[in-house]
Amino acid sequence: MANQDLSTLKVAILVTDAFEQVEMTQPQQALKQAGAETHIVSPKSDRVQGWNHFDKGDFFPVDVSLEQANPSDYDALLLPGGVANPDQLRVNDRAIAFVKSFVEAGKPIAVICHGPWTLIETDVVRGRRLASWPSLKTDLQNAGAEWVNQEVVVDGNLVSSRKPDDIPAFNREMIKLFSQSGKVRQMA
The residues carrying an active-site annotation are 114
Give the residue from 67, 87, 66 showing the smallest Cα distance to 77.
66
Q: Residue 29: helix, strand or coil by DSSP?
A: helix
H-helix segments, the chain: 21-33, 84-89, 93-105, 116-121, 137-142, 167-179
Instruction: Evaluate whether 159 touches 108 at the Cβ level (below 8 Å).
Output: yes
Cβ atoms within 10 Å of 153's Cβ, excluding its own:
23
